[in-house]
Amino acid sequence: MSENLDIDHSVVFVRRLEYLNFVQTLRSQGFEMCADLTAVDYLEFKERSLPKDVEAQRFEVVVNLLSLSKGKRLRVRVQIPDDDPWIDSIFREYPGSEAMEREVFDLFGIVFKGHPDLTRILMPEGWEGHPLRKDYAPGRVPVQFKEVKRTR
């Protein structure tokens, strides 16, 4: 990654290992805000179009950065493999990403290294599985209402 990034397109693909450095560079170049951070599980949509040098993986973390001074948005897409789903946390660059990273961890099971409090945020603390993964079947967890007396 060169120091002076000339960004005229709104989507950038970054490798997982370069991600943190890249975001740090963007932070110093006037992208003041992390507007959004989310992920997509591409388990059932493998033939998506990607640039040639990007190897498609199961997960993709999508970070929306916003530059208020330039009035620009930039979407950073990072491929995350299935067998080892981790990525660096950008909490130190953008503290506002804290809840969003927790949400992605909760719903996709992607581990954010360096996050101060990586716990479930939307699901209960003892929940098993990550609901927004495509192989997570809704209704798989049996809900049993114990000791409900039948009235009829």
Site residues (CB under 8 A) for other proteins? 27-28, 30, 32-36, 38, 40-41, 44-45, 48-49, 62, 64, 68, 71, 73, 75, 91-100, 103, 107, 114, 116-117, 119-126, 131-132, 138
Sign of torsion over alpha carbons 115, 10, 39, 66? positive
Residue type, 37: L
Task: Specify which residues 79 forms β-bridges with.
Answer: 60
Residue with smaller CB distance to other proteins, 52 or 152: 52
Element counts in the chain: helices (H) and strands (E): 2, 6
Q: How far is the CB of 32 from other proteins (least distance, A)?
A: 5
Residue with smaller CB distance to other proteins, 11 or 18: 11
Those residues with Cβ within 8 angstroms of residue 106's Cβ, 6 or more apart along the chain or in another chain: 120, 121, 122, 123, 130
Q: Check: CB of residue 87 under 8 Å from CB of residue 113.
A: yes
Q: How far is the CB of 144 from other proteins (least distance, A)?
A: 19
Residue with smaller CB distance to other proteins, 18 or 117: 117
Residue with smaller CB distance to other proteins, 15 or 45: 45
Q: How far is the CB of 142 from other proteins (least distance, A)?
A: 17
Q: Give, as one character, the DSSP assignment of residue 144.
A: -
